[in-house]
Amino acid sequence: MKTELDESLALSSLLLSLLVLLNDVSVSIYAEQPGEVYVYGFPESPSSETLLRYFDSKSNWQTIFYKLEDSSSSERFLKIVEMLRALGIEVTPPESCTSCELLHLTWKDILKGHASPLVGFFRNGRLTAITLGIAKLEILDRALKAGDDDVKVFALGKEYSLRDESVRVSLERLFLGEAETGIHAPSFVSSIVLLALADSVNPCTFAVFTALLFMALHALGKTKAALTGFSFILAIFVCYYILGLGFIHLLAAIPYVEKVVASVGLAAGAFTIARGLKPKFRSPVPKALRRLIEAQINKSYISPVASFALGVAASFTLLPCSSGPYVVGIGLLSALNDPIQAYLLLTLYNTIFVAPLIAILFAVLSSAAYTRKIKAFRGAKLGVMELISGLLLVIVCLYLLLS
């Protein structure tokens, strides 16, 4: 009995030793994986020099240094530090007299003095650790070995863990800056405009709107038809804007969202082109939803309120027909660091999206000849509109994937 117990204990000890050894080996292998460190500091500072020498000794780690004398680097540094402060991380010593320091320094100078050099540790494109004002080699070693389950933050002798994925993504964007995330203002705005144009030639919304407009014009006359048309367009604009705001916050939590949505958009664009090449246009919207919309058209031309309700219903039920460009556009907007810019560009996107509907409304109200032409176009060219939409979507998505 004693021999069996001894053997069991020996086997357990051996297994435990193997587990410890495997864990040490895995940690060591993980620590040796290549990565990048983004350092924000003053190059002449002794602590910055210590950090740079240390990282130079790590052949598999690339160092990117941002000088705090540079205004854009300084702005990103302050945003990162303030965000960490808001998360409950101490970035200034509790015993320091901040009010005393403010007599001689600005708050920005105090943060730069205590929190620099600021270092973000990235492995496989993911932020794994942050150090603030630290040049101790043992802490830097721990930061280099940090895993990617959460973000380890080392500040003033304390260690914190950030587990919220949206926080991690926001910090990643701040550390990398817009230039490193692939966002370039002119090309970015051009992409948004092209996506909006691809969405604006949406054949499903065009078909519903023209049917409603022709019915209102025939039964109610130009004045009431104008009110009906504007009410429908307003509903489309408002609902798409609200949907966009929701998707911006949802997609912001996805790493490399612009590449993800571009891949999805490329597939959606190819599918749209394939549908547009067919001899007869067939809506991708399920039959049950199409019948619901068609039934509501007969009731909605009577009043602006009813047409607004139809526009709300169309915004949601016709999404399968236009979701490709919109999802890609919203994915790009969610990658912006500045929410005000995102909201303004979302307004631009939706304005371009409804512009053809406004043009059709004025054309129909101004001339019976235009009305006949639009009716003929509606019957024969919906497939062409879908083909144009798909081509524009594919062009933008290929650019985003290759840029």
Domains and CATH numbers, the chain: 31-180 (3.40.30), 185-402 (no CATH)
pLDDT of residue 293: 61
pLDDT of residue 180: 44
pLDDT of residue 372: 64
pLDDT of residue 320: 62
Residue 132 CB-half CA count within 13 A: 27
Helix (H) or strand (E) holding 118: strand 118-123
Q: Which residue has the tokens 């930061």?
A: 143
C-alpha torsion sign, points 357, 208, 376, 373: negative
Structure tokens, 359: 């043009």
pLDDT of residue 31: 45
Assess whether pLDDT exceeds 70 at residue 272: yes
Assess whether pLDDT exceeds 90 at residue 373: no
Alpha helices (runs of H) in 255-338, residue ranges in sequence order: 257-276, 287-300, 304-317, 319-334
Assess whether pLDDT exceeds 90 at residue 119: yes
pLDDT tens-digit map of 213-240: 666 666 666 777 788 788 888 988 998 8
pLDDT tens-digit map of 47-94: 888 888 888 888 778 888 999 988 888 888 999 999 998 899 988 887
List, as one string, the DSSP characters of 122-163: EETTEEEEEEES---HHHHHHHHT--SSSEEEEETTEEEEE-
Sheet holding 61-67, edge to edge: 61-67, 35-41, 118-123, 126-132, 151-155, 158-162
Kindly report which listed range (38-52, 81-95, 144-158, 291-305) carries the lowest average pLDDT score: 291-305
CB of 297 closer than 8 Å to CB of 212: yes
Name the pairing type of β-strands 151-155 and 35-41.
unpaired
CB of 231 closer than 8 Å to CB of 311: yes
CB of 129 closer than 8 Å to CB of 153: yes
Query: Which of 23-27, 48-52, 298-302 ranks highest by mean pLDDT?
Result: 48-52
